[in-house]
Structure 1
């Protein structure tokens, strides 16, 4: 059996020590991310995933927004120190991908296929997850690290205002990416017998 894909999936890890030592150009990274998202499968080929790819000041702005929003949730400065350190780690990355779902498309398919209407939001989330994984793995293939963060929905309004996000785009995740400054730790797995069943 060929195992190249599985090997890449193993290489894709949550990397938190990210840096800006990236050899690829921004245009090359944009092309990689766009082509990866375009080629993942979606239910009914409805292509609900949207993305904003941020670099430089725009990347910094994402994490400034997150930090200021979290400051309102953790008003005690001493308790906030850990939060500041965590966000500084994300800001140290080379760029951030903001992932969205286009809710207008979800609603459109609900109307077009009413028999499956209750499923289209779930299917958009499945498509989103596939896109996240595919982009993450494509970055790993190119020796770039990333992690997937979920500060939505508390940052939704600020992100929408800062990046002129269409009202029908719903923020689903944030992916900081960059050079790998320290590897991920060991990964533990649950027992196979608790996870899989084989019927022959």
Structure 2
């Protein structure tokens, strides 16, 4: 098995996070910067913007998420969200993933194609950062709280950190030391996922 495949297998959704890491926060920040800069984007448009929250900023963000979501979610989802928020606040930090819509508008594509390119650009960054964190023996998960640019759901986050109005938040990735390993993961047959034709 190659080192890359081992890394892909190592990357799992981790919710119980801590602050015990052999890497400094500056090391983590620098690794995220290096990786994001190399992520491929449609037309080399480089539309993705990443915000790294540490310490007080991380706590403040997740307190905000909880305050907004606690009256929206019901039953089991409320309990699940509380667990995610607690884990995120106990971790080292959170990576926020945005698309700069001003940059998106400059791509030579419109409508559904532009939307697809935007989503693909951001997804590439999300996965690359997640793999980088896994390589540093850090756990993470991908969350989608308060997303909804047109309805202003991410407005509070942008105001909190003085981010441009053109930023659309697409995801959040809390990360930290792995305090509880992920469970077994079931896989469907690869022949269902991958089709190969040679004529």
Q: Is TM-score (shorter-chain normalized) higher than 0.5?
A: yes
Tell me the distance in 2 between the aligned counterparts of 1:129 and 1:81.
27
Gaps of 5+ in 1: none
Is the 8 Å Cα contact of residues 98 and 170 (structure 2) preserved in structure 1? Answer: yes
- Corresponding residue SS for 1:72: coil
Give 1:102 deviation, angstroms.
Answer: 0.8
Residue 173 (structure 2) pairs with residue 180 (structure 1): no
Tell me the distance in 2 between the aligned counterparts of 1:49 and 1:40.
9
Q: What corresponds to 2:48 in structure 1?
A: 49
Give 1:134 deviation, angstroms.
Answer: 0.6
Q: What corresponds to 1:117 in structure 2?
A: 110
Give 1:15 deviation, angstroms.
Answer: 0.7
Is the 8 Å Cα contact of residues 13 and 142 (structure 2) preserved in structure 1? Answer: yes
- Corresponding residue SS for 2:70: helix
Q: What corresponds to 1:152 in structure 2?
A: 146
Give 1:75 deviation, angstroms.
Answer: 8.0
Moved more, 52-61 or 119-128: 119-128
Show CA shifts across 1:97-141 (max 9, x none).
1110011111112xxx3xx32312211211111111111101111
Q: What corresponds to 2:166 in structure 1?
A: 168
Is the 8 Å Cα contact of residues 147 and 171 (structure 2) preserved in structure 1? Answer: no
Residue 59 (structure 2) pairs with residue 73 (structure 1): no
Tell me the distance in 2 between the aligned counterparts of 1:31 and 1:188.
34
- Corresponding residue SS for 1:165: coil
TM-score, length basis structure 2: 0.90
Gaps of 5+ in 2: none
Is the 8 Å Cα contact of residues 18 and 179 (structure 2) preserved in structure 1? Answer: yes
Q: CA RMSD in A?
A: 2.0
Q: How many residues align?
A: 193
TM-score, length basis structure 1: 0.89
